Chains A and B, each alone.
Chain A
């Protein structure tokens, strides 16, 4: 993926040098060779800090909300999945098209961090990474490290609908990961839907119970754009601050409904969750329902398609009875 990385750097350098943008939001090397981190580059001479590799899992789109009042233009690096957030933010008028430049990457797939940690020694220097149908190949100071797709590929990548960005001003990378048709059918959700009620309830209970209410899911989510969040309100206190199964469940269900129609299945919430709660499954259930009820595409996949919950049609299913 060195090619993509070099192109991102070259384009960023040019955009900054010409003053076309005043900041580039992208990925930088982390403190550990299995992590990357968001970086905010304001000077052309710093573009060397930008990287792109199979550890760029995070979705940076939420930072556009944080920098809403930034004076100037921002270029942002997005993978295919992340690009849906850009569209969704544009549709909600949270960001202005003229103020951003989208550096899209056709994404060949991202690596599970647990697997990376298990196989890449802490002191290894990773010099190059490649992904193809056979899996991930990492050249490191300690030799070649490989992961088969089964072993290394993130679940969200396996289920990816748009590895090629749905919106971009500059596009890098030839070909994104091509998902198997069967993996795009929400079979994971369907399997859980089919389970007996008690099983479903205990499935979620065991996860909700260990939620810390750290709000990392909310704070990283590009769909969470409310200026004042219900979970922060003191008067009235919609959801108690007490951390227990009942209040945690309320938190999760309310959040899932609040992001319904805006959640683009970017998976950022699940990635940041320290308690490994399968939040994508929760949100994908709603995406699936919206799809089935309204025939709506994955939110954010089409700039022109009006979001399912933002318009009304006389033949909408909820107006039928």
Chain B
């Protein structure tokens, strides 16, 4: 059962503070000018003004560096121990694009082999989504099936309304939490929330964006299904640096490496850390064979993954339009432009 309420900014901070009594609060915190999702013992630290966090909130479920196990050799035998994972958590302030990205990551990490490092955290985390107050220069959620006030993926979703927020219990868990803490909320209704979201979205989408042109994602997909070798990829790859920015900062990228470290012969650990298909040794095999030997194959792989493979496997478009790579790629490899370019190539075929 959904529930619709209103909450003032002050009450929201107090509500979050209340939640820290029995849960870890992970929220946008500004540190030296960059906003990241970090533990916030004091809800007063939470930043409400950020456009989009530097590192996406995936880092909560899937940290950049994570221990798989540690080991010791005792009496000639290996003793492996798994790290203990955090318990109950509230992940606050997740923007709609990032909410959607979590839905895109879920099927990667569960499925036939459930990755419990991810799933444990996921199950123990209540997600409070936060609608956008403005649309950033690189944002294009609304062009890939989302929107700046879309609640999908949240347990509770907050729509900014004046200085206050309209709160929806999107899932049963979210609704329960609002009901349990009802003293922080005042009444609202489905109609009011709906109206605010519609009007808010209209207002936000009137903001000027630079790149003109409409996306036709089904057409794009059909083109990519049928065309693997096109000169476009090579030309695009010339300027790519093969760095990790776009993939590390992408909320739907999930690639990782596994490495072992042993301080002494008798103890050590196995860790996993983020990895990127843009790095040249990502697919390098023993003996030197590399199935993706040049930047052309690597750049193609990234965009094919975003625009096609993810959809093929999980029926979800792999890019949620958060704009992080748009803003941070040092050489302006911009997925919006690439979609438009590919559509043009498709049109000329």
* Chain A residues packing against B (C-beta within 8 Å): 30-40, 58, 62-63, 117, 121-123, 206-207, 210, 212-216, 219-220, 232, 237, 240-244, 271-272, 274-276
On whether the beta carbons of B243 and A215 are closer than 8 Å, the reply is: yes
**B48-70: which residues lie under 8 A (CB-CB) from chain A?**
54-55, 64-65
Chain A residues, CB < 8 A from B210 = 31-33, 122-123
Q: A58 CA to B34 CA in the complex, in Å? A: 22
**Interface window among B79-87, B95-103, B154-162, B324-332:** B324-332
With A and B bound together, what is the CA distance between A210 and B53 in angstroms? Answer: 13
Separation of A212 and B276 alpha carbons in the complex (Å): 12
**B243 to A32, Cβ gap below 8 A?**
no
Interface with A: B9-17, B177-185, B234-242, B307-315, which one? B234-242
> Which of B105-113, B164-172, B220-228, B244-252 lies on the face that meets chain A?
B244-252
Cβ-defined contact, B32 with A123, below 8 A: no
CB of B244 within 8 A of CB of A272, answer: no
Contact between B209 and A123, CB atoms less than 8 A apart: yes
A58–B208 alpha-carbon span in the complex (Å): 26
Evaluate whether A32 and B137 lie within 8 angstroms (CB atoms) in the complex, with A121-B208, A220-B241, A272-B241 already known. yes
**CA of A123 to CA of B207 in the docked complex: distance in angstroms?**
9
Q: Is B336 part of the binding interface, using a Cβ–Cβ cutoff of 8 Å? A: yes
Of residues A123, A220, A274, A275, which shows the largest number of chain B Cβ atoms within 10 Å of its Cβ? A274
**Per a CB cutoff under 8 Å, which of B207, B245, B273, B332 touches A243?**
B273
Q: How many A-B residue pairs have CB under 8 A?
A: 112
Q: What residues of chain B have their CB less than 8 Å away from a CB belonging to chain A?
A: 31-34, 36, 54-55, 64-65, 137-138, 207-211, 235, 238-239, 241-245, 248-249, 257, 259, 261, 271, 273-274, 276, 279, 281, 326, 328, 330-334, 336-337
Question: Do A214 and B34 touch across chains, with their CB atoms under 8 A apart?
Answer: no
Q: Which residue of A lies closest to B257 (CB)?
A: A241
Chain B residues, Cβ within 8 Å of A38: 238-239, 331
The distance in angstroms between the C-alpha atoms of A272 and B332, with both chains bound, is 11
Which residues on B sit within 8 Å (CB–CB) of A241?
257, 259, 271, 273
The residues of B that contact A240 with a CB separation of less than 8 Å are: 259, 261
If A40-B238, A62-B241, A122-B137 are given as contacts, then 8 extra A-B residue pairs at C-beta distance below 8 Å, sorted by A number, are A121-B208, A214-B248, A241-B259, A242-B65, A242-B259, A244-B65, A274-B249, A274-B328
When distances are taken between beta carbons in the complex, the residues of chain B under 8 Å from A31 are 210-211, 326, 332, 334, 336-337
* 8 Å CB contact of A275 from B54, B239, B333: B54
Q: Which B residues lie within 8 Å of A33 (CB)? A: 210
Q: Give, as a whole number of angstroms, the nearest-CB distance from B78 to chain A.
A: 21
**Choice from B248, B326, B330 contacting A220 with Cβ under 8 Å:** B330
Cα A272 to Cα B331 in complex, Å, equals 9
Q: Which residues of B contact A275 (CB under 8 A)?
A: 34, 54
> Contacts A31-B326, A36-B332, A215-B244 hold; do A242 and B54 have CB atoms under 8 A apart?
no
List chain B residues, Cβ under 8 A from A276.
Answer: 32-34
Give CA–CA (A212, B239) in the complex, Å.
21
* The one of A40, A63, A242, A271 that contacts B261, using a Cβ cutoff of 8 Å: A242
Interfacial chain B residues near A242, Cβ < 8 Å:
65, 259, 261, 271, 273
Structural contact, B34 and A213, CB atoms closer than 8 A? no
- A-B residue pairs in contact (CB < 8 Å), sample of 10: A32-B210, A38-B238, A40-B235, A58-B331, A122-B209, A123-B208, A206-B32, A214-B244, A214-B248, A240-B259
